[in-house]
Amino acid sequence: MKNILIVLILFLSLTCRISAQNNNTMSKTEPSRLAVLWTSSDPEVAEKVCFMYTYNAKKQAWFDEVVLIVWGPSSKLLAENAGLQEYVKKMQDAGVRVEACLACADMYGIADKLREMKIDVKYMGLPLTNYLKENWKVLTF
């Protein structure tokens, strides 16, 4: 009887330690992060897929951090399309961070226009590489 009691006490002690370790591990999880790489010049892809998902990923808290990367032909489309500009503003107001490739913006002569929209215009090769290496989820449209 004494042996059973000792085993029971050891078992309960071990169970409590494992539970405490699991609770500590769960509280230290990294935030979920999404980088959406938008390259398409198609306004339907922007509005009906890319922007809709990006906006809701932040608004519905599907991810803690959301960044929209405007790269290539999408930057020209954005600079020319007032409706998409309004949608980007709505995403920014919801907490989506918006970045654009400076090299692409310079090719199209629109860097200043994007900056006026409060978009962080910079060379994006290294930032995108860092998102990939830091285990961000990356979605491309």
Q: Are residues 103 and 79 in the same domain?
A: yes
- For the stretch 37-71, pLDDT in tens is 999 999 999 999 999 999 999 999 999 999 999 99
Residues 38, 21 within the same domain: no
Asked whether the beta carbons of 95 and 55 are under 8 A apart, the reply is no
CATH for 72: 3.40.1260.10
Helical H segments across the chain, by residue range: 2-27, 43-45, 51-59, 73-80, 82-94, 102-108, 111-116, 125-133
- Tens digit of pLDDT for each residue in 1-24? 555 545 444 444 544 444 444 444
